Chains A and B, each alone.
Chain A
Amino acid sequence: MLTLDAVLHGLATAADEPAQLLPARQQMAFTLGFHIILVPFGVALTSLTLIAHHRGLRHGDSTALLLARRWSKAAAVLFAVGAVTGTVLTFELGVLWPGLMGTYGSAFGFPFSIEGLFFFLEAIFVSIYIYGWNRLPPWAHFWTGVPVSLSGIGGTASVVAANSWMNQPGGITMRDGKVVDVEPAKVFFNGAFWGETIHMLLAAYIVAGFTVGGVYAAGLLRGRDNRYHRTGFLIGFVTAACLMPVQLLVGDTIARDVFNDEPAKFAAIEMVPATDDHVPETLGGVMIDGEVRYGWQIPDLGSILADFSPSTTIKGLDAIPADVRPDDRTVSVVHLAFDVMVGTGSLLTLLAAWFAWLWYRHRRVPENRWFLRAAAVSGALAVICLESGWVVTEVGRQPWTVVGLLLTRDAVTTEGNIWALFACVLALYAAVGAAAIWVLRSMRRRWRAEGDDNVTVPYGPAPEPVAARPGPREQ
């Protein structure tokens, strides 16, 4: 009966909003969620590669060099896929959200032109760097990788600038529903810019670091206890482990910024039905009929976390005008996503502390099997953390697309059967995702079986003429 009720409820709300709204939101969430997994590897795996590369050149460490070489090739595959899914997103902005692009394109749009510039540089230098193995002088080759890392940072900042502007729009003058003047600096460096950008950059390095560390932790667990696996584990895991406590502090600061600047989102995050002081911190739980159900409440902690005092007043959902108040389901999703983000983030911080303790005791890569097991899944945990963070910021903005200016139901297209499009997109992305995983695994298999020279990657030139010897094609 519950599902029937949900269906009826869904139909009831669908009556006053465009039929395209739900599928468009689902599709955007899915494609963004897919793309965001690839982003850390484009942004941060290249930096990890450069760390290994630098070590290899500086200390004549051939193991580190081999790692750098292989990581750069894995990054190339992921970068190519990420570039494609990113291109789909640019199409979707126009096809799914004409209300956003048409009215606010002059403000929301231009950070993407700066991103385009960085992406261009990144694409060019990824090509040069991949191409440069064994072809450029060693240090010159190293330096061709540096622009990749830097443009990754610049590109991330630009895209997040556009996103954070939707949360705290500023720098525009409206007249008759049109943007008539833009102050670019205020649009780009809007109120939410620094917090979101730093949070995302750290997240990118943490996801890439734990994923890389996790891959080699899994190898160590399977008994491949050699220098190659230990070095690979250390470079990835230590990078992520060092940034994790920083991320916790940054996240905490952002939560207080959200409390001050985006009270509606904060009310959803903390699941506060009515404005009050001495607000408890609710862990888990959902909102049903405007009331908090289930969940575990810690008295006063919500107020203390918001502004260090139990008497801090937190604006509740009742402070939001009824017509733009997020519904129960939305609030529950935001709240639970926030809990998952904080929960996984805390687990990862504990893991980092565990590593620090083991390292302090033994001064070597831990052999503790429970630690290695935890490290092996840390990449997946970090991805869950990243995804739930984006759910908090995106769903937490609803029903607005641009807070206070544009409702999502006014931003969505009114043309076309988006469910059909979404179905195609799901099938296509499933195939692309499966192929990407399969290709990375086959690369690893061939590295083990045939050595490095036979594995070619996008951007890289073919290893040898096909006619001269039996290359991969003939096999």
Chain B
Amino acid sequence: MQDTVAILLFVGVVAYALLGGADFGAGFWDLTAGGADRGRRPRHLIDASIGPVWEANHTWLIYCLVILWSGFPTAFTAITTTLYLPLVFAALGIVLRGAGFAFRHNALRTPEQRLYGAVFALSSVLTPYSFGAIAGAIASGRVPTGGNGNALTSWNHPTSHLGGALAVVVCAYLAAVYLHVEARRAGDTALARYFRDRGLAAAAAAGAVSVAGIFVLHSDAKRLFHDLSHVALPLVVGAAVCGVACILLLLTHRTVLLRQTAAAAVALVVCGWGVAQYPYLLGTHLTLDEGASPRATLQVLIVVACVAGVTVLPSLVLLFRLAGRGRLTIH
């Protein structure tokens, strides 16, 4: 049963990585879009794409946190008492990002919009980096079961830096691909090209970070490296294949299955981490069995997830459909 809850938790992590990640990535492109005049068109597309679905994407994080603290409370507090600094940074990013999102639409003059925009964009890098670093710390066993691990060294090591850097480039990559497809759909070829180039650059960066990651993990997180290269190998290979396929699709100007391929590449990487982690919650010192809540709580979580499946998912589909249709009418 704890395995089921762990899978449900991981579904949330993957969804947040794909949907929240694309939002963070859009913020990254917003940050790098240049001055007010030059960056106007890409920023407008980013606004129009994110606007309607922002909150829904963001909610996956809440989902992950509540499942973690109800289902595996020991692991939750071990993480929060050890990694409180990156958590605070992530929360800071979320506050600024959310506030920027909430207020920017209403900013009247360009300097105000620039301020909100800069806040929104900067925090879009801070948050994924922090979450990546947290994942690196958990995966490499730097979070002791009893919590209160070293507040600095627990996330200042190669694996966490790798996780943070990978999270930032992967978010940028996802966003560029999604925005490329949006621009194509809207019939804006110049903008489509703009995001295609950025998508390719981000894909190359993600590839480079991943290759560097092989060496980092080999020296810094031996067990993780071992599991990734054994049980999780098919997922890692799958991710690489999807990544390459996505680059080929971008190069050959195809949009069929482009977003799906990009999403699959990222999802497979995240799943690879999950499989390599199994059956441990933290490093190799706390298993799912040991860390799980009593049975009744796990049952509640499974029921909640099932109810969410039949209520939230159709609503989400409706929202994305409507939002997609709306964007077509804008341009």
Q: B-contacting residues of A (Cβ < 8 Å)?
A: 77, 79-81, 83-88, 90-91, 93-95, 98-99, 101-107, 109-110, 112-117, 119-121, 123-128, 130-132, 135-136, 147, 179-184, 413-416, 421, 424, 428, 431-432, 435-436, 439, 442-443, 446, 455-462, 464-467, 472-475
Contact = CB atoms under 8 A, between A and B. Distances in A.
Max chain A CB contacts within 10 Å: which of B40, B79, B81, B92? B81
Interface stretch (B50-58, B252-260, B271-279): B50-58
A38 to B, nearest CB: 11
Given A95-B88, A415-B84, A101 B73 contact: yes
A459 B67 contact: no
Contacts of B108: 442, 446, 472, 475
Nearest to A416: B84
A91 B81 contact: no
A184 B322 contact: no
Contact of A105 (B70, B85, B92, B296): B70
Given A91-B87, A95-B88, A102-B73, A428 B95 contact: yes
A458 B58 contact: no
B231 interface: no
A98 B81 contact: yes
A84 B95 contact: yes
Given A110-B297, A179-B293, A460-B52, 6 more contacts: A99-B77, A105-B69, A120-B62, A128-B322, A461-B323, A461-B330
A227 to B, nearest CB: 26
Nearest to B94: A87
B214 interface: no
Given A110-B300, A182-B296, A182-B297, A435 B91 contact: no
B210 interface: no
B251 interface: no
B328 to A, nearest CB: 11
Interface in B106-162: 106-110, 113, 147-148, 151
Contact of A462 (B51, B55, B66, B318): B51
A86 to B, nearest CB: 8
Contact of A107 (B48, B79, B297, B326): B297
B102 A439 contact: yes
Interface string B300-321: 1100100110011001101100
Nearest to A432: B99
A113 to B, nearest CB: 4
B277 to A, nearest CB: 20
Contacts of B38: none
B55 to A, nearest CB: 4
Given A91-B91, A182-B294, A184-B300, A127 B70 contact: no
B218 interface: no
A95 B92 contact: no
B106 A181 contact: no
Contacts of A128: 315, 318-319, 322
A473 B48 CA distance: 14
B194 interface: no
B59 A116 contact: yes
Interface in B27-67: 40-41, 44, 47-48, 51-56, 58-59, 61-63, 65-67
A436 B101 CA distance: 12
A135 B326 contact: yes
Query: Interface size bucket, B side?
Result: 35 or more
A109 B66 contact: yes
Nearest to A127: B52
21 contacts: A80-B55, A94-B76, A94-B80, A103-B73, A107-B297, A109-B70, A109-B293, A110-B300, A113-B301, A114-B304, A116-B62, A117-B304, A117-B311, A121-B311, A127-B52, A181-B296, A421-B88, A428-B95, A442-B106, A459-B54, A473-B110
Contacts of B74: 102
A107 B59 CA distance: 22
Residue among A106, A428, A457, A462 having the largest count of chain B Cβ atoms under 10 Å: A106
Contacts of A124: 55-56, 312, 315-316, 318-319
Given A123-B59, A465-B331, A84 B99 contact: yes
Given A77-B102, A80-B98, A125-B315, A88 B91 contact: yes
Contacts of B91: 87-88, 91
B215 interface: no
Nearest to B301: A113
Nearest to B65: A90
Which 5 pairs from chain A and chain B are nearest by CB? A105-B73, A94-B80, A106-B293, A84-B98, A102-B77
A460 B51 contact: yes
B297 A131 contact: no
A227 B265 CA distance: 57
A365 B296 CA distance: 54
B44 A462 contact: yes
Contact of A117 (B95, B297, B312): B312
Contact of A415 (B51, B79, B110, B148): B148
Given A116-B59, A180-B294, A415-B84, A432 B312 contact: no
Contact of B66 (A107, A112, A184, A413): A112
A93 B84 CA distance: 12
Contact of A84 (B48, B94, B293, B297): B94
Contacts of B54: 80, 127, 458-459
B185 interface: no
Interface in B8-32: none
Contacts of A467: 41
Interface-central residue, A80, A181, A436, A475, by most chain B CB under 10 Å: A80
Contacts of B304: 110, 113-114, 116-117
A208 to B, nearest CB: 18
B248 to A, nearest CB: 32
A264 B296 CA distance: 31
A4 B9 CA distance: 51
Contacts of B316: 124
Nearest to B85: A416
Task: Name the residue in A109, A126, A128 with the highest tally of chain B Cβ atoms < 10 Å from its Cβ.
Answer: A109
A263 B132 CA distance: 48
Contact of B81 (A77, A80, A413, A456): A413
A106 B297 contact: yes
A466 B41 contact: yes
